[in-house]
Amino acid sequence: MLKRLFSIGLVVLLFHAGNSLLIQDARANQNDANKVKADVAKRGTGPKAKVSVKLKDHTKLKGYISNASGDSFTLSDAKTGQARTLAYSDVAEVKKQGGMSLAAKIGIGVGIGVGALALFVAIGCATSDGYVC
């Protein structure tokens, strides 16, 4: 009797755990879709709304957002004019196309700082009274 009761309790526990994981996964997908929808709305539509889109199946697409609706948006290729309708739930990430990476921006800043320091040292050496730095 104790084994049977234990088995039934274990089945109920596993069933409950499985359902709660499915519910959490559905909520996470809904939150991801809402984030993508907000990103698309922020970018706007038209040829100036160029984006890079990464789908959940790891496919990468580039183009501009030509239309956005309640549950999907249309990505058009500027070169070919081909349009593809994408559901928000199928998209993992929407990013602005182009631009520099953070590492490139830091490198440019460091380069400017080193150049300015070298310029100050050169000016300081040139104005001293015949002493070479």
Q: Which of the two residues, 34 and 130, has the higher pLDDT score?
A: 34
Token look-up 């080193």 returns 114
Tokens read off for 64: 């501009």
Q: Which of the two residues, 131 and 108, has the higher pLDDT score?
A: 108
**Domain count within the chain:** 2
Please write the tens of the pLDDT for every residue from 5-46: 666 766 666 666 555 544 544 454 555 778 888 888 888 888
Q: Which helix (H) or strand (E) holds 16?
A: helix 2-43
* Predicted confidence (pLDDT) at residue 49 exceeds the cutoff of 70: yes
Report the CATH number that the domain containing residue 28 is assigned in CATH: 2.30.30.100
Residues 18 and 70 in one domain: yes
Terminal CA-CA length for the chain: 94
Neighbouring C-beta atoms of residue 64, cutoff 10 Å:
19
How many Å apart are CA 97 and CA 133, to the nearest integer?
47
